[in-house]
Structure 1
Amino acid sequence: MALRADWLPALTAFESAARHQNFAHAAEELHLTASAVSHHVRKLESRLGVALFQRHARGVSLTAEGRQLADAAGSALADVEGVLRSLGGARDEQDRVRITTLHSLTYTWLLPRLPSFLRAHPHIRLSVDTEIALTRFDDGGPDLGIRHGPGHWPGLTSHLLMDEGLFPVASPAYVDLPNLHTPADIARQPLIADHARQGWHDWFRAANVHGAKFEERFTFSDTTDAMNAAVHGLGVSLARSRIATPYLERGQLVRLPGPILTARWSYYAVYPSHRRLRPAAQALLDWLLDIARG
């Protein structure tokens, strides 16, 4: 028996009624009336020449033939729905951009600026990965990355986004703040550091503080944690200009005496050299370069 197109409404109504064991609930799901569902089921029973439901005062229940058809119809419709979802998902994926970056830069620099990108590109969806380990740009991996480093990574094309500088900061409520007049005074404080390769040794050298014994009492893997430690008065932190800006603007931290040391490393937007960026990813890259220049 060939399955004609006009069987599909009846099969859809039957499959829903079989799942719910209730015509009224099936009607609600399909936005039909209960009588319309009942009509579809009776039409199907008439064409097949078998009873699909046993009807009784408390509702309906499937016959053996009804159970057999319900299993087949449910499986077939689920397969069709899955294919439709995947086809729609493939189209949606064209508008999704996966970006891997640093948590500190995401929190303090990227997130405050993203609303302007989404206003210009409301159809683009973003997935942001801030895992500490460097993400591999394999198939199915991120489209773009923002990395902090020298600017050269094998297999990646890189675009300079911005440089940064290093300088000491502390909470305006820090207990010893009135006594911090020179870089040498800072060396006597409990210091807060992160895991970056350039740190307090480099800054004191740039500040002409030589031979001083200083204590890095707190060390954090993430720069925002180092900033927050300073906000809470735990000591003096060596700030990175791009990360510290919102803390300074909100008055949570103040810059202390001493030079701004130009960092050896900068921030770069990167992506696989062998792969052409999709339009959505290219739009994000163009935006990143534009706001970084601004």
Structure 2
Amino acid sequence: MPRLSDFYKRHPGVLINLHSRIGQFDFEHNGIDAAIGVGDGAWPGLVSYKLCDETLLPIISPSIAQTHPIRAPRDLTRHLLLRVAARSDSWIRWFEDQQIDERSINVGPQFELTSHLIEAVSSGIGIGLVPSFLVQDELASGAVMLAIDRPLRTGLSYYLFLPAGDQPLPQSVAFREWILSRAQQDFAEPHTVSHPR
């Protein structure tokens, strides 16, 4: 979201309407021209453009970190662990990666949007586990900080999806070229994978 102002500077005549959806998306029934999703990039009838690999970071508010510091992964069991509804098993995977019994998880509330979860973390409600690229600005500003330097690499990636076969709309081409350029600047070099019907 913070980077969209750059797109509008470069393409002032193009409007982007943003919608958040949990689960699978249907281009034809939902009137979608493009989508960004996380997975393996395989989606029948769509062309996927890899943007970045997914790494999840455990984040905490500076005030909670000061009063209840995290010195070892097991210390997270004393905190309320916030979750994103679409990825409610992420903490289980993190605890498994740390070789800690998942039954010790102190399950907290779920949030539909990652941005809401980040706000909840910054206000001191609990600890969140969020994609690294979605929390860079908050980490840089000090609104949140790493609870502990134990990232979780999920093996999934974020992709831009466009319909396969048809000539893409000029607006979709402009957005594709812009976001791939941003991905090259901010992450690894993207690549394209086609998945015919």
Do these two structures clear the TM 0.5 threshold for a shared fold by scoring above it? yes
In the alignment, is residue 183 of structure 1 matched against residue 105 of structure 2? Answer: no
Name the structure with the higher helix share: 1
Q: Distance in 1 between matches of 2:136 and 2:4?
A: 16
1:221 aligned partner: 112
Q: Distance in 2 between matches of 1:213 and 1:171?
A: 22
**Cα drift, residue 179 of structure 1:** 3.1
1:138 aligned partner: 28
1:160 aligned partner: 50
Q: Distance in 1 between matches of 2:166 and 2:30?
A: 12
**Cα drift, residue 212 of structure 1:** 5.7
- Check 1:194–1:285 CA distance in 2 against 1; reply closer, same or farther (3 A cut): same
- State which structure, 1 or 2, has the greater radius of gyration over its C-alpha atoms: 1
| One-letter amino acid matched to 1:203 | W
Instruction: Judge conservation of contact 1:207–1:258 (CA < 8 Å) in 2.
Output: no
1:151 aligned partner: 41
Name the structure with the higher strand share: 2
1:172 aligned partner: 62
1:260-293, Cα deviation, whole Å (9 max, x unpaired): 1112322111111132112221111011111011
**Cα drift, residue 175 of structure 1:** 6.6
**Cα drift, residue 174 of structure 1:** 1.3
In the alignment, is residue 278 of structure 1 matched against residue 169 of structure 2? Answer: yes
Instruction: Judge conservation of contact 2:79–2:127 (CA < 8 Å) in 1.
Output: yes
Q: Distance in 1 between matches of 2:102 and 2:157?
A: 29
Relative contact order: is structure 1 or structure 2 higher (C-alpha 8 Å, sep ≥ 6)? 2
Q: How does 1:46-125 map to 2 (within 5 A)?
A: 111-125=1-15
Q: TM-score, normalised by structure 1?
A: 0.57
Q: How does 1:243-258 map to 2 (within 5 A)?
A: 243-258=134-149
1:66-111, Cα deviation, whole Å (9 max, x unpaired): xxxxxxxxxxxxxxxxxxxxxxxxxxxxxxxxxxxxxxxxxxxxx2
Q: Distance in 2 between matches of 1:292 and 1:174?
A: 33
Q: Distance in 2 between matches of 1:220 and 1:128?
A: 18
**Cα drift, residue 176 of structure 1:** 6.2
- Check 1:175–1:138 CA distance in 2 against 1; reply closer, same or farther (3 A cut): closer
Q: Distance in 1 between matches of 2:176 and 2:63?
A: 40
1:98 aligned partner: none
Which runs of at least 4 in structure 1 moved beyond 4 Å after TM superposition?
A: 175-178
2:132 aligned partner: 241
1:12-52, Cα deviation, whole Å (9 max, x unpaired): xxxxxxxxxxxxxxxxxxxxxxxxxxxxxxxxxxxxxxxxx
Specify the SS of the correspondent of 2:42.
coil
**Cα drift, residue 237 of structure 1:** 1.2
1:212-250, Cα deviation, whole Å (9 max, x unpaired): 612112222222222111111111111221221122122
Number of aligned residue pairs: 184
2:194 aligned partner: none
RMSD: 2.2
